[in-house]
Structure 1
Amino acid sequence: MTAETDHPTVLFVDDEPSILSSLRRLVHPQGYRVLLATSGAEALQQLAQEPVDLVVSDMRMPEMDGAEFLEQVRTRWPLVGRILLTGYADIQATVAAVNRGQIQRHIAKPWDDQELLTAIDDALARRRLELENRALLSLTTSQNEELQRLNTDLSSRVLERTRELEQSNAKLAQSVQQVKDNFLLSIQVFSGLLELREGGLAGYSRQVADLARRTVRRLGLGPQQEEDVHSAGLLHEIGKIGFPDSLLRKPASLMNADETSRYRRHTLNAEAALLPLAQLQDVARLVRSQHERLDGKGFPDGLIGNAIPLAAQALSISSDYHAALSGRLSEEAHSLVQALTLVRGGAGTRYDSDVVKAFLLALEDKPEDVPRDQQVSPAGVEPGMVLARDLLTPKGTLLLAAGFVFDARMVKQIREFAGREGARMTIFIVRPEDKART
């Protein structure tokens, strides 16, 4: 239906007035709003002036035939339905109309009244569905944008409650928005939200992410999977954001039945939060599968063997290793030897043997071609310098992630923050010329 009326508008085009009269009489009982045109040119003028839902055109007309006319309708008004009436046995002309005008239906003259009415009803129903789908897509886009705004507001509130940045938080949030194209930086900041909570470990997710990426590199899975597993490592605990502090601090081995049930849902919560972001589709699936086991005893899907992606196993083994070292698996933290024994013992049951081998090699890897960083005070930071290491407050809160490029405004904010808080800030930077040589 058009916006101006509650009744669908149908435009009939035929160079014979008697046929137009017959068509008007046929559809009149259906309650349609009917427009008539005796040529393609006249019909195009009406389309430019009147809202139309469906065009029913004759094929053989002087000056402009039905194929040419319907091609112009498709180009200028693609959502208008198109039906062709053909009164002679010229299959090539009909094919041309189908290809050029992309008509939904063609009906031979003389037409069967019921067949034509059914075709008109079907075409109008299709148009209604297209309009409804567009409206739904617009609504979904609007809701996603609103959700992103709410997430940004939530991030700001968390930062405000820490009282680490006070009035500077709003300015820093604006800076993050201005560097929105740096997608990895945004992920790093987002992954740090849990680490602001009591029981969170500063830098924990980054350690898991870096080790998982090195493991995938050793497996030879390619740059894209290295990038995906690194993002998955940064976000692998985001599904726990709603956990109470007491549950965040508790090792998995000490959880009761209710806590274990809630804990086992965190990967599903994370996937649901990440899937709406197109760039994180594959990342979300890796996060979902981080607790799957080769023997099928994992969760949430109980996947077995090759059904578990190697990148997901790389994330799993890296997470388990750091969880053991930090005391997240049991009441007491594992020693380095105990943690290595744990992951080696999982070969063939928890992880593929090739994944274990790649992991052990990854532990020995050292960064290559990394420019030498320099330590400066807040007063020594200059625009263009690149942050070489995460910048933390004295309490361990992430201010800026490694890789951030300072501009004049951020330099001023960092200096003001350090002066106001009386904080001793250790800043490691790489100069642009050193960065360019790597």
Structure 2
Amino acid sequence: MEDPLILFVDDDENLLMGLKRKLRGKFNFDTALGPSQAIENIRNGAKYAVCVADMRMPEMDGVQLLAEIAKLSPDTVNMMLTGNADQKTAVEAINQGRIFRFFNKPCDDEDLIAGLTAGLRQYQLITAEKALIEQTLAGSVKVLTEVLAQLNPTIFGKAMRAKRWCDRIAASVGYPHPWELGLAALLAPIGYVSLPPDILGRLGADKALQPLERDVVRRTPEVARNLISNIPRLEQVAQIVYLQYRDYDGSGFPADGPEGKDIPLGSRILRIFNDLGKIVDGDLVVKQHFDELRQKPKRYDMALLDQIEQELAEVDPAYDNVAYPEGTEHDIYLKHLRMGDFLITDIETLDGHVLLTRGNYVSEVQLQRLRVFQKLHQFHEPIRVRRGGHDDED
């Protein structure tokens, strides 16, 4: 395995040549004649364990260069070579460039070698800690997802589907850290671990809950946040999950919190996917699903909803009047009923109350009313409908 690489940056070519003669055989190193070359090397993929930069350079001083390197390569240990180690220079370097050590010109060979050795040791400590954190993060997430999968496979399956949706739309909505969004979707229902088995079972089966039970379920994002926030580097994921039911107009859970664009983008996405997941069967997402979500415009970021629809929605052949001029008949459950469906059977509760009669097309208002009734009553299912094949005047 090749030794970690050190970079020396100076605008004086003679000084760089002298360093090469002094350090050849002692370290694995590279040189850059000025800040531009150093930055170009890093942007082209060069990995440096240590960077030693001169303070006085014409294009960009050492503080500015090391501050830029700290952004491009956060694990690199930065050092400065200066003939002007005054207090102001030192403060700027430490605050902006994250300086590990200063060297004064001219620098004694033994001091330079000792400093570089210490810098390489610091780099090893940083990378070892980072690897440990990443392993801890991966292990902790694995444990949480396995708990959720064992707790209720149906709910876990829906979380996996939401993660796939997040992976598909992350780039188009400009999400800065796609892994963070996907992980938030996967861990969004982890708060359900606090629910009694009977409530959990009804949730998995999409059955109606009593008001007190709904209130308990409503608070599960707080449980999820408390669990996730204990894992290193997942503080932002925990906040996204906590606000996943916060409505765009400022209502929803929690009662006090941000609204509009102040709600994290990840939470606004989960708010859409949580409701989309309740009306989508399988992986096929169609325009009619988004039409249904638009019946509650105060709940969502509507511009974001449009972006997600463009990325996810597919053409449903059952609504293609050209391909199916006479329409096609389907036996469906009520949760899959859509606007424009023609009822071939009545929609009737188990106690005999007919909500919608056969021979009619389902309107937006009727569908919304039915969704309210579904929370309170049980219906005869499946029902038979015809899709496609009717003109607008019908």
Q: TM-score, normalised by structure 2?
A: 0.43
Q: TM-score, normalised by structure 1?
A: 0.39
More helix by share: 1
